[in-house]
Each structure stands twice: as structure tokens, then as C-alpha cells.
Structure 1
């Protein structure tokens, strides 16, 4: 039976927040001028509130690149081979209709062009999900008539892949969707990270269920495991869209969050016949 609480104690809120991955480590900035756009990043430490100086700038000309923010992708992670941090930038070359990759290694004075690939990271989430030294984005396996004119209604499961960029080797590969995912989806899915594993969450069965898949061994496509398949009727809050934040070590409890209004739900996975859940809000003062 579900129950609601209006507000959690402050110490419990802080404990929950301490479980979450550190966000907003990078701030992206740009300057538009006729014919080109200039980009750079800064690094932000939310604990100390210290902001770094600007990174080296990169200039992309409009005649060569699609300078639209939803078609630019960034990622940030640690490369244990070079023992340093890297920033990865994907952008679309409108002449070759290929995705170009540039990498900035912290301490370097310029960005390095590393590779081109035919995969196109989908508009939407700006920052890639870091798992096992790889940055990951949902992508289309082909570019149709140019990726910037695709329509979701024309996308099938077979068109969807995960673009995975290896920070150590500056290479990429594509990973397939879970084998049990066969239907045409009503809306675009999302990638996240749970227990250090890549996860995929989406609406299924004609937008009636919320489903979460977990790739238990990164890069092993047959390790995809469905860990949650729950109807929105069961969650009661129809119309709200969810994202998974955390899973307990023994995988009994899954913490979900709504996209916009800071509502959370603990979902008990222990017994599929009698699953229970509880709602609460977080408000920091």
C-alpha cells in the first residue's frame, strides 16, 4: 500500500543527496557571431564553489558544422592510461554528414580531433553517461536524410544503438539495445547509470509502463537485464515521467525521481507479487 509524506527530515535529504553522482562539473559556454560559433568549457566544483578559468576555445563555422546546441554533445571523464581528465565533444559536420569528435585533455593548450563516425547522437541529453571509462549516448545507426531532419515516428528499434566512446583509446563502438525490446517506442528512451552500470529507462506498451534495463557487464550485450516493469496505474501518478537515481546494494530498493517537480519514490523490488512504494518530496532550506 502506498503512503505519502510531505517532507523528509533535512538530515535524511542530505544523506540521499550524498548518494548521488556529482553533477554540474562542467559549464558550457558559447559565443555566436555571423558565420561561426565559439565554444569553451569551465570546470565547477559544487563543494568548494570554485570555478576554473576558460578552457582553450574551439571555433566551428556555420558552413561546415551544425551549430545548434541540441546537436552538440559533451562528456567528461578520467583516462587512467594518461592519468588525467578528458573532455569529449561531438558535433555534426553538415558537409560529410558525419559526427566529428574532438578531445581536450586537461592541461593541454588545444582540442584534438580524434575521429569521425557515421553514428549520430540523438538530440536531447547533452552530457554522456560515464561507465567503465566509456562515455555513452543514445544514437541513430543511420542518418536518414540528415540527422537534423529525422522524425521520431520514423525511428524503429533497429535504428537505435548506443554510441560508446572509449576515453583510454580514443575509439568508439556501437552497442545494441536489449534483445527483449522489440516494440516501436512512443517516445525517446534515456540512458543513466545505476550501481556503476549503464541503464536504459523508457515508456513501453503504448506508454502505459515504466521499464528499466541494466547492462550488468559493460559492453556485453547479452548482459542486459530488465529490473523494473511497472504500470503507471500502479504508480498512481499518471502523467509524471520518471528517472532511476539509485539502487540498493542488494537490489531490493530502487529510488526513482520525477523529471520536474522534485518528487521521489522508493520502490521495493524484493517481492514482485507485493511490491510497495512510498512518495516524498525533497526541499532544501
Structure 2
């Protein structure tokens, strides 16, 4: 298994840690609520990192950032912060994991300034990538360099409907020490959309069954709720049980909370953490948020 030494180990003992985060670290609707406004772009990640201790690196899917840009991300976050860095689409979608050495090398070099903050390299595969393609994935994983964790997200329905297909993928991932990232959209698709944001997500998000099997000691979950907070919370209750179980097994999971509009995502991520910590008081607390508005004397 490819591990980064020292993560989640402090003063000689293993920490009980659940990291939580969102799909991005800046959103217009967060200004003045979760993040101060106005706030320069190069300070927004620092403010976000006081709310959540993980973030999805979706922007790297569209273009590999420069090392200088990545270095600014590292400077705004502590060493325990977790980035889930998504491989560029030229590797996963355009070239389908073939003839990608140059692009892969450039990406891994670019994220090097993150150090241990690069919690995992996220390999999100297109919906057309099915069980027949697992040998291709296995070859790709076998050639990846040590020094990073790797996590794979698949969307082909057969991986969720066929136990044989799931076992085939699990075997390839276990051999490489890689995790399977579930994107749980079952709560979202439980009832018809009621807002513009939900209707937009309805046509774009994958509709696959939930899956809660961890392959490594660092499971990663992406969860999509609704714009209605109580529906979102009700939908994640099974995940509270799963995450509590993982923590008791000695695993250190990361949970990403999404809603169609993501307007309240940082607060919801912290609420999920609170729900788990209510069951496990020994769980490490999240950082205290930086106030979004100046403190007053009255």
C-alpha cells in the first residue's frame, strides 16, 4: 500500500480523526457568511480551512495548476489539511489512462508542494468505463509512483449492479492499495427536484446505488444531499453509523458534503462532524472558524 508516513500520528499515538469538506473552498453565497467579504482570492482558502479540514480539488480536472499556485494553497493550510487532488481529464477521459506519462508526471510534479496535504490522487473515471476496462485500470495503477495514495471513482452502473464486476474492481484496487470512492446520490434522487439548482443537478449527477465498503484505512466518501437542510441531514444518517464504525476500526475517513446549490456546504460539513462526534466524543475537534464578520463590543 502506498502510504504517506506520519499522517494522523501525533506524539506517538494514533489520532481518531474524521476530516470533512466541500467541493470547493470559495462560493459566492459564502461571502459574509462563512468567508469574510471582501476577501482577496489568495486568502479564501485560509478562511475556508478554518471551517473544514478537507477539500475536493475539482479545478485540477480541467487544467494542471502551476507549482507556484499549488505552493500558495499549501501556505494557506496546515499540514493536516487534506486535498483530494483530481487527475486532469486528459488522463482519465480524453486518453483513457493510455499514453499519459507526460501529463501524469506534470500533474504529480505540480502538486508536490502540497506535501502530506495531498491526501489522495483522485482518479474519476467516465461513465463509459466499465468492467471490461478494469485490466486497463490495473495496469495504470501498477505503474503509478509511490509516495501518494490513490483513490478511484467509477460511475458505470454494472459496478454497482453486478457483484462479479464489483469484485473484479475491488481486487484491482486492493492490489494497488487504492480506495474506491463512492458518490452517494441516493438521498438526492429520492424525490423530484424542487429548485433550479436541483433540476440542473438532476440531469448531471450519477444515479447509482450507495456503497459503504472501505478498502483502505483512509476511506473517502462524496455525499450529495438536497437544498433543504433537513432532507440532507436525514439522508446522511446511515453514513454517521458507517463512519463511526470506521473510526472504531482505526480508520481515518474523509467525508465531502455536497448540495445542489452548495450554499450551506461548510456549515453542513461541520454538522456532519458534530453528529459523528456526538457518538464518539474522543474524536478530534474541528478548528474554530475565523469569523466572517468583524467582532463587535456589543
Q: What is the TM-score with the length of structure 2 in the denominator? A: 0.30
Relative to total residues, which structure has the larger helix share, 1 or 2?
Answer: 2
Structure of larger gyration radius: 1
Relative to total residues, which structure has the larger strand share, 1 or 2?
Answer: 1
Q: What is the TM-score with the length of structure 1 in the denominator? A: 0.31
